Structure 1
């Protein structure tokens, strides 16, 4: 535990988030241990709380890193120039969740207490994910409907999230639904078509 002076505060923050993210990916939120993260990086657990202020802020930092990786995942898919960019977005939502189940679920398993505000920098990083959807939705809406792209995008994200969650937790399987991804794409395209999108 004697590495307290080995890193600057910024370096230590990055080290903690990186190792915390690895640990979260391995065990999930319910079994996450800040003591284990501290042990892995060779610092006392108190150092983690000195850097982030609390356990909740530490988890928020780790989950925000997940949002960043998720946005990068979607941008990489779109950079391959798929013929159907809307379907690619939905597929990217599903594939990231299925390939990273523990870190994806941790985003929704943890809530900051009401008296602990989320840092602005975290909110900005998290917003980058929705911004991708807004951009792609706005690009196919008629000119007079583009102003409504952010609101429509949020609704579409909620639709896809519900389908993805049901697919991951086994609810769709219990209902006998075998193609949740295809169903999510269909619902999204129906909503876009109703808004006048060029599909």
Structure 2
């Protein structure tokens, strides 16, 4: 078993987050605990809390990496001058990333924080920045509509894709429809594009 002297403060903090990310990716957030994490890294649970406030803090660090990864996937999406096509390209990037990081993505929304533990503002901003990328496509489709309207459509697309992928990953989508998830996602995007295109001011 490793001892505290085996790692510097920075090395141990990195080890904790890296290992937490691996455990959540492999076993899911429901199986993740301070005990499983301390056992995996060879330190006592008490040692964890010399470097992090609590388990919420550790999961937040992991979730931040997940959001950064999605932002990177968006940045690497196939470019297109057509904002409608770009929405579909972002949808492909979104779906591909969630599929690859399924358990980590679920941890973003399934982890139950302590009642007195607010979500950090910068964490909310990380999600909002992803939605702004989608919203910009809507702004390009209808420049005459205001920013709020575009943002709301971006939120709807984000929530829609997350919802159907969550249903699919839990095996519950088949209770509603027997459809390929990729086709479902792109039909949802088309529906949102159509609705936005025909919106009145």
TM over 0.5: yes
The TM-score by the shorter chain falls in which range? Answer: 0.7 to 0.9
Q: 1:76 corresponds to which residue?
A: 76
Taking the TM superposition and a 5 Å limit, the aligned residue runs for 1:139-150 are 139-150=140-151
Instruction: Report if the CA contact (8 A) 2:138-2:150 is conserved.
Output: yes
Instruction: Report if the CA contact (8 A) 2:28-2:107 is conserved.
Output: yes
Q: Which runs of 5+ in 2 are unaligned?
A: none
* TM-score (norm: length of structure 1): 0.83
Q: 1:178 corresponds to which residue?
A: 179
Q: Which whole-Å CA distance do the structure 1 matches of 2:122 and 2:5 have between them?
A: 25
Q: CA deviation at 1:5?
A: 7.3
Instruction: Report if the CA contact (8 A) 2:87-2:137 is conserved.
Output: yes
Q: CA deviation at 1:42?
A: 4.2
Q: 2:130 corresponds to which residue?
A: 129
Judge which range, 39-48 or 20-29, deviates more.
39-48
Instruction: Report if the CA contact (8 A) 2:25-2:101 is conserved.
Output: yes
| Pair 1:52 & 2:52 matched | yes
Q: Which runs of 5+ in 1 are unaligned?
A: none
RMSD of Structure 2 on Structure 1 (CA): 2.4
Q: 1:64 corresponds to which residue?
A: 64
Q: CA deviation at 1:181?
A: 2.3
Q: Which whole-Å CA distance do the structure 2 matches of 1:140 and 1:50 have between them?
A: 50
Q: 1:14 corresponds to which residue?
A: 14
Instruction: Give the number of aligned pairs.
Output: 194
Q: CA deviation at 1:74?
A: 2.0
Instruction: Report if the CA contact (8 A) 2:135-2:150 is conserved.
Output: yes
Q: Aligned to 2:49, what secondary structure does the other structure show?
A: helix
Taking the TM superposition and a 5 Å limit, the aligned residue runs for 1:101-180 are 101-180=102-181
